[in-house]
Amino acid sequence: MEEALITYKDVEICQQDLSVLSNIDLQLNKGEFVYLIGKVGSGKTSLLKTIYGELDIAAGDAEVLGYNMATIKRKHIPQLRRQLGIVFQDFQLLTDRSVYDNLDFVLRATGWTNKQSIKERIEEVLQLVGMNHKGYKFPNELSGGEQQRIVIARAVLNSPDIILADEPTGNLDVETGKAIVQLLHDICQSGSSVIMTTHNLQLLSQFPGRVFRCEGHSLQDVTEEFTKEIN
């Protein structure tokens, strides 16, 4: 039996009282890699926001990691977010501190207290994203691709069940973008499920996954369409 981490049934999402997506049926199982594609404004980011409790669902049944997103209380959202890794396009690293201190800040904020454990975990995630010699640097001393690797390191610090990546390759050149998706794929194979929004459809053939398209206020599973194109 597959373990469902996210189950959306007949969900509607609104932004400022306007329906963005309706009749959404989505199930994310453990270890899956899912792409969300669609034009700008089609609802991809809004859908991600409902998963981490930034945007309320307007109607339907939505469960994320055991939390009912229709009735979740504000005070429970931080607990939910601890089980999620969130990767944004615009990095959002703290610019006034080093890479190591960025990661240290997140661990302490999420309840880690043992200095040695913190040090070991930071070294582990920097190794994972291929940035183990960059801990002393500040974000502005890193390239865009390197900053995105640090954002991914930050996202996986607490071994999340799900990683949400919103256009993680949007500001990067093709090769760097590919390396970032490869990294997310590797992390997915080691146990975290990944949902990633992208405009770059070439990635779908290089790094296969399930594909959903936001279009005309609805969400369609178009995985087969892309599987046919690959074969």
- Give the per-residue pLDDT at 230: 57
pTM above 0.75, yes or no: yes
Provide the pLDDT for residue 114.
97
Give the pLDDT score at 143: 93
Would the CA dihedral through 97, 124, 67, 7 be positive or negative?
Answer: positive
Length of the chain: 231
Residues lower than pLDDT 50 in the chain: none
Q: Token pair of 198, please?
A: 């992208």
The pLDDT, as a whole number, for residue 90 is 67
Helix (H, G, I), strand (E, B) or coil at 18: strand
Cα–Cα distance between 39 and 45 in angstroms, integer? 11
Tokens representing residue 47 in the block: 């859908």
Q: What pLDDT is attached to residue 104?
A: 97
CB–CB of 76/52 below 8 Å? Answer: no
Tell me how far apart the alpha carbons of residues 199 and 1 are, in angstroms, rounded to a whole number. 33
pLDDT at 110: 87
Distance CA(189)–CA(140), nearest Å, equals 31
Question: What pLDDT, on the 0 to 100 scale, is given for residue 118?
Answer: 97
Largest CA distance in the chain: 51
